[in-house]
């Protein structure tokens, strides 16, 4: 970490916080709109996860659990990234979650969805890029300096 | 020694300590950098919520539709408790099974399959209506046996207990009607029996819940009307559709005159399958479904209809023939008519013109597979249009066209302001209302009504894609419709699809059918009260 220049360090912190902000809001919105469910999204699932998605949708209890975990997962990951608390775990699980979204609705040639996306994609989507960005955040940790992980580090000493 | 170097060293120490304190302080501040960001996030979130709410409220205030935001508006009324009602069901085809389920009785096979696919929980949440199916009547042994299994089932929703009352099979419906141990009957036979059985049942002192069509003949419809009117028994026609909470919102929008003058209502049927075209006599493997003259009392099945040789085709696909039904009109337009009539109280049309033909399903049918009917209401300055198509499933919806706004009423409700509306001209100009996006949307599966909804929401709504129901329960509308009937039996009052509505619908349907068959414009004589 010592080898980062200040500009590199601040840029990485900013990247971490911005992604955290985005995921936190995604989670909060789902929490605040009481009618929200992943049914529409999962119902559209194609490729390797479509079987799993169908299974989730057809089981009310499972669906509710998935919705709950998704909403609170997003909120926890978002807070973790902004505050720099358990930042690496947050970044890795965030990347995994985003990859799940990506592979459920991949913008591959020949796969079409009735739910509109907010962009035009060919194989690579913003979701995939955000997942990769989180992976970078995990590889280049900043939270032990800029984040509550500082105190965890100190406690461990 | 100490005194020699003392001041120098202590200065250095002091510097070092100060340095390390300020370094520590800086580290601390850096470590806490995320906290003000969270604060900023919270503040922005609060501002956005307030902004959205302000904007949302503005349009409802502007339209005088604050009542739509009442969270209790879409609430489901639960059945009031009352004494046990002993019900007999006449006709145990598909619909008989569905209505039993709505009453709280499941076939053991269906119970298992619902348990497997996770749908049983919703059903178990259904209110207990405190009824028992004690009578089963069907001309087909197989169906009667299915009915006995359903009526004798012990699982009850809503925490109800199985009363284990004896269930009796009646060979003829007249025997069931003569039995004083039956309080009420549900009629789910093919349509040509509906009016006759309903009349006989009311005369025998039973309450009647009857599926559509009301009646296939004008004289029987008149007899039914007179019989129900002169009796204190409760008659309800099976139009559960309007029990969807969406109708309350639609009613409010009509009452508040959001649409302006409604001059045209377009209703449609859009089907494109064998099942949808009433070809139902073959099983999955293409073999004829069960039934023979040995297991089916064919003479009783025909009833007052003309003699015809037994065939599995006729038994399962009766909708194809004029003797047993009115096809698209009786099966599908009837629901459309009731939906419009419940909202606008249009009543009997002054005239009807129908046209169409058998354009796709070229089998032995008499019934049109493509049909257009135009119902005129000059005293209401309105036309009701019906277009039924059995060879294309393109969804065309149900639309109420007003000069200020139009309302699409389907799986969800969408209101668009008209670009040339005078009423909304001011708000269109100032940008509060945009005719290209919905002014009001309501999705019964979501929890809130939206004014000025986002493009995505309108996209979802128009495609009926929203299948989200998380905290709310999926409630069977047939259950609600039966519950209303039962509530009226126990506590008095008029059910929504009472004999007045049924009569209006029956006449409208008969006019449309006669126009198609006789290839002429058919009129209603309001003084003689007859079709001419």
Q: Which residues of B touch A114 (CB under 8 A)?
A: 463, 465
Q: Using the beta-carbon criterion (under 8 Å), do B33 and A84 form an inter-chain contact?
A: yes
Would you place residue B148 in the very low, low, confident or very high pLDDT band (cuts 50, 70, 90)?
very high
* pLDDT surpassing 70 at residue B62: yes
Would you place residue B7 in the very low, low, confident or very high pLDDT band (cuts 50, 70, 90)?
low
Q: Is the dihedral of CA B196, B202, B204, B207 positive or negative?
A: positive
Query: Residue A21: closest CA among chain B residues belongs to which residue?
Result: B41
Query: Residue A17: closest CA among chain B residues belongs to which residue?
Result: B34
- Cα separation, B193 vs B212, in Å, equals 11
* pLDDT surpassing 50 at residue B471: no
CA distance, residue B266 to nearest chain A CA (Å): 26
Q: Is the dihedral of CA B127, B130, B132, B137 positive or negative?
A: negative
Contact B198, B234 (CB under 8 A): no
- Cα separation, B463 vs B455, in Å, equals 12
Q: Residue B452's pLDDT is what?
A: 41
Contact B400, B259 (CB under 8 A): yes
Could you tell me which of B258, B416, B444 has the C-alpha nearest to residue B343? Answer: B258
Beta strand spans in B233-299 (E): 235-237, 262-270
Q: Is B448 on the interface with A (CB under 8 A)?
A: yes
Q: Using the beta-carbon criterion (under 8 Å), do B467 and A114 form an inter-chain contact?
A: no
Q: Which residues of B touch A37 (CB under 8 A)?
A: 468-470
For the ranges B8-12, B145-149, B183-187, which has the lowest average pLDDT? Answer: B8-12
Which residues are CB-neighbours of B262 under 8 A, at least 6 positions away? B254, B344, B382, B400, B401, B402
> pLDDT by residue (tens digit) across B98-113?
999 999 999 999 999 9
> Per the CATH hierarchy, to which homologous superfamily does domain B85-243+481-496 belong?
NAD(P)-binding Rossmann-like Domain (3.40.50.720)
CA distance, residue A14 to nearest chain B CA (Å): 10
Q: For residue B110, what are its two tokens?
A: 């269906």
Range of the domain at A53: 6-156
**Secondary structure of A118-149 in the HEC alphabet?**
CCCCECECHHHHHHHHHHHHHHCCCCCCCCCH
Average pLDDT value for residue range A21-39: 84
Average pLDDT value for residue range A81-102: 94
Q: Residue B350's pLDDT is what?
A: 98
- Cα separation, B208 vs B99, in Å, equals 13
Q: Residue B82's pLDDT is what?
A: 87
Q: Is B2 on the interface with A (CB under 8 A)?
A: no
Q: Which residues of A touch B460 (CB under 8 A)?
A: 40, 115
Would you place residue A49 in the very low, low, confident or very high pLDDT band (cuts 50, 70, 90)?
confident
- Cα separation, B133 vs B100, in Å, equals 8
Q: Is B1 on the interface with A (CB under 8 A)?
A: no
**CATH number for the domain whose boundaries are B69-73+244-478+508-525:** 3.30.360.10
Q: Which residues of A touch B411 (CB under 8 A)?
A: none
Q: Which residue has the higher pLDDT, B15 or B110?
A: B110
Q: Residue B343's pLDDT is what?
A: 95
Residues recorded for chain A: 157
Contact B138, B173 (CB under 8 A): no
Q: Residue A31's pLDDT is what?
A: 87
Percentage with pLDDT > 70 across chain B: 90
CA distance, residue A99 to nearest chain B CA (Å): 23
Give domain status of residue A148, yes or no.
yes
* pLDDT surpassing 80 at residue B250: yes
Would you place residue B261 in the very low, low, confident or very high pLDDT band (cuts 50, 70, 90)?
very high
Peptide bond into B213 cis (omega under 30): yes
* pLDDT surpassing 90 at residue B208: yes
Spatial strand order in the sheet of B413-417: B449-451, B440-442, B413-417, B405-409, B399-402, B262-270, B382-389, B370-377, B351-357, B522-525, B530-531
Q: Residue B469's pLDDT is what?
A: 31
Q: Using the beta-carbon criterion (under 8 Å), do A33 and B447 form an inter-chain contact?
A: yes
Q: Which residues of B touch A63 (CB under 8 A)?
A: 470
Give domain status of residue A1, yes or no.
no
User: Which one of B113, B444, B470, B473 makes the best mutation probe of the A interface by having the most chain A beta carbons within 10 Å?
Assistant: B470
**From residue B439, how far is each of A4, B213, B245, B282, B381 by CA, in Å?**
53, 36, 19, 47, 25
CA distance, residue A64 to nearest chain B CA (Å): 7
Spatial strand order in the sheet of B184-187: B168-170, B131-137, B85-90, B184-187, B207-210, B235-237
- Cα separation, A23 vs B363, in Å, equals 58
CA distance, residue B455 to nearest chain A CA (Å): 10
Q: Using the beta-carbon criterion (under 8 Å), do A24 and B467 form an inter-chain contact?
A: no
Q: Using the beta-carbon criterion (under 8 Å), do B117 and A150 form an inter-chain contact?
A: no
Give domain status of residue A93, yes or no.
yes
- Cα separation, B197 vs B303, in Å, equals 10
Q: Using the beta-carbon criterion (under 8 Å), do A83 and B38 form an inter-chain contact?
A: yes
Contact B365, B353 (CB under 8 A): no
Print burial letters for A68-86: b (CB count within 10 Å at least 16), e (below 16).
eebbebbbbbbbbbbbbbb
Number of domains in chain A: 1
Q: Is B446 on the interface with A (CB under 8 A)?
A: yes
Query: Residue B37: closest CA among chain A residues belongs to which residue?
Result: A82
User: Chains A and B: how many Cβ contacts under 8 Å?
Assistant: 90
Kindly give the pairing relationship between strand B184-187 and strand B85-90: parallel
> pLDDT by residue (tens digit) across B476-524?
888 889 999 999 999 999 999 999 999 999 999 999 999 999 999 999 9
- Cα separation, B186 vs B520, in Å, equals 36
Strand partners, B475: none
- Cα separation, B499 vs B225, in Å, equals 6
* pLDDT surpassing 60 at residue A65: yes
Query: Residue A10: closest CA among chain B residues belongs to which residue?
Result: B30
**From residue B135, how far is each of B96, B103, B223, B324 by CA, in Å?**
12, 14, 26, 24
CA distance, residue B459 to nearest chain A CA (Å): 8
- Cα separation, B222 vs B502, in Å, equals 11
Q: Residue B455's pLDDT is what?
A: 38
What was the ipTM of the complex prediction? Answer: 0.86
- Cα separation, B298 vs B296, in Å, equals 5
Give domain status of residue A72, yes or no.
yes
* pLDDT surpassing 70 at residue A84: yes
Q: Using the beta-carbon criterion (under 8 Å), do A13 and B31 form an inter-chain contact?
A: no
> pLDDT by residue (tens digit) across B154-192?
999 988 888 899 999 999 999 999 999 999 999 999 999
Round the average pLDDT of chain A to a whole number and report it: 87
Cα(first)–Cα(last) distance of chain B, in Å? 130
> pLDDT by residue (tens digit) across B78-89?
667 889 999 999
When CB atoms are compared, the residue of B49, B122, B466 closest to A40 is B466
Would you place residue A4 in the very low, low, confident or very high pLDDT band (cuts 50, 70, 90)?
confident
Start and end residues for every CATH 3.40.50.720 domain found in chain B = 85-243+481-496
Spell out which chain A residues touch chain B, with contact meaning CB-CB distance below 8 angstroms.
13, 17, 20-21, 24-25, 28, 32-37, 39-40, 43, 58-61, 63-64, 67, 79, 82-85, 114-116, 145-151
- Cα separation, B502 vs B215, in Å, equals 9
Q: Using the beta-carbon criterion (under 8 Å), do A40 and B118 form an inter-chain contact?
A: no
When CB atoms are compared, the residue of A28, A59, A146 closest to B31 is A146
Give domain status of residue A19, yes or no.
yes
Which residues are CB-neighbours of B65 under 8 A, at least 6 positions away? B59, B252, B253, B256, B258, B440, B451
Element (H, E) at A19: helix A6-32
Give domain status of residue A64, yes or no.
yes
Q: Using the beta-carbon criterion (under 8 Å), do B118 and A60 form an inter-chain contact?
A: yes
Q: Residue B411's pLDDT is what?
A: 74
Q: Using the beta-carbon criterion (under 8 Å), do B34 and A59 form an inter-chain contact?
A: no
Q: How many CB atoms lie within 10 A of CB B106?
A: 24
Give domain status of residue A100, yes or no.
yes
Give domain status of residue A130, yes or no.
yes
> pLDDT by residue (tens digit) across A112-154?
776 656 677 888 989 999 999 999 999 999 998 889 988 888 8
CA distance, residue B150 to nearest chain A CA (Å): 25
Q: Which residues of B touch A116 (CB under 8 A)?
A: 455-456, 459
Q: For residue A124, what are its two tokens?
A: 């690579």
> pLDDT by residue (tens digit) across B367-414?
999 999 999 999 999 999 999 999 998 989 899 999 999 999 987 789
């Amino acid at each position: 970490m010592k080898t980062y220049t200040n500009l590199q360090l601040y840029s990485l912190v900013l990247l971490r916080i911005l992604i955290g902000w985005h995921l936190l809001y995604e989670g909060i919105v789902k929490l605040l709109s009481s009618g929200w469910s992943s049914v529409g999204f999962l119902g559209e699932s194609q490729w390797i996860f479509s079987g799993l998605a169908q299974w989730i949708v057809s089981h009310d209890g499972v669906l509710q659990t998935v919705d709950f975990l998704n909403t609170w997962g997003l909120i926890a990951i978002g807070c973790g990234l902004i505050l720099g608390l358990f930042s690496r775990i947050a970044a890795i699980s965030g990347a995994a979650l985003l990859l799940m979204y990506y592979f459920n609705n991949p913008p591959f040639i020949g796969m079409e969805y009735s739910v509109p996306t907010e962009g035009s994609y060919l194989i690579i989507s913003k979701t995939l890029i955000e997942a990769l960005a989180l992976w970078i955040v995990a590889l280049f940790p900043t939270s032990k300096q800029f984040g509550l992980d500082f105190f965890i580090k100190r406690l461990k000493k | 020694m100490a005194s020699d170097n003392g001041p120098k060293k202590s200065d250095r120490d002091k510097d070092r300590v100060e340095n390390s304190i300020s370094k520590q302080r800086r580290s601390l501040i850096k470590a806490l950098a995320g906290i003000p960001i969270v604060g900023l996030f919270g503040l922005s979130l609060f501002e956005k919520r307030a902004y959205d709410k302000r904007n949302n409220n503005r349009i409802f205030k502007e339209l005088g539709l604050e009542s739509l935001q009442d969270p209790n508006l879409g609430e489901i009324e639960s059945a009031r408790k009352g004494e046990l009602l002993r019900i007999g069901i006449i006709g145990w085809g598909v619909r008989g099974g569905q209505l039993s389920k709505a009453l709280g009785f499941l076939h053991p096979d269906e119970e298992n399959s619902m348990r497997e696919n996770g749908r049983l929980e919703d059903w178990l949440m259904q209110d207990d209506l405190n009824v028992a199916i004690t009578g089963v009547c069907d001309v087909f042994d197989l169906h009667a046996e299915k009915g006995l299994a359903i009526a004798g089932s012990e699982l009850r929703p809503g925490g109800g207990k199985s009363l284990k009352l004896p269930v009796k099979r009646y060979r003829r419906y007249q025997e069931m009607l003569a039995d004083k141990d039956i309080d009420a009957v549900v009629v789910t036979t093919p349509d040509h029996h509906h009016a006759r059985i309903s009349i006989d049942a009311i005369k025998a002192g039973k309450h009647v819940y009857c599926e559509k069509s009301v009646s296939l003949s004008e004289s029987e419809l008149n007899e039914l009307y007179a019989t129900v009117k002169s009796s204190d028994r409760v008659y309800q026609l099976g139009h559960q559709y309007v029990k969807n909470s969406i109708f309350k919102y639609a009613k409010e929008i009509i009452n508040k005159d959001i649409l302006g003058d409604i001059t045209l209502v377009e209703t449609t049927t859009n089907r494109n399958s064998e099942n949808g075209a009433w070809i139902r006599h073959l099983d999955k493997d293409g073999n004829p479904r069960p039934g023979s003259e040995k297991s089916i009392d064919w003479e009783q099945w025909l009833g007052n209809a003309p003699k015809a040789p037994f065939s599995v085709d006729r038994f399962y696909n009766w909708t194809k023939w004029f003797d047993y039904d009115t096809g698209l009109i009786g099966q599908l337009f009837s629901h459309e008519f009731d939906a419009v009539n419940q909202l606008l109280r249009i009543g009997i049309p002054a005239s009807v013109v129908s046209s169409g033909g058998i354009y796709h399903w070229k089998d032995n049918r008499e019934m049109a597979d493509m049909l257009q009917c135009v119902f005129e209401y000059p005293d209401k300055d309105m036309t009701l249009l019906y277009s039924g198509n059995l060879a294309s499933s393109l969804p065309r919806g149900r639309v109420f066209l007003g000069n200020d706004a139009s309302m699409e009423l389907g799986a969800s409700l969408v209101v668009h302001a008209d670009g040339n509306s005078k009423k909304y001209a001011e708000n269109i100009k100032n940008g509060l209302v945009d005719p290209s996006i919905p002014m009001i949307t309501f999705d019964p599966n979501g929890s809130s009504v939206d004014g000025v909804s986002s493009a995505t929401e309108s996209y979802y709504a128009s495609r009926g894609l929203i299948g989200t129901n998380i905290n709310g329960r999926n409630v069977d509308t047939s259950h609600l419709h039966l519950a209303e009937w039962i509530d009226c039996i126990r506590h008095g009052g008029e059910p929504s699809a009472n004999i007045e509505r049924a009569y209006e619908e029956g006449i409208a349907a008969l006019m449309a059918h006669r126009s198609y068959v006789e290839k002429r414009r058919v009129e209603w004589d309001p003084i003689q009260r007859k079709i001419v």
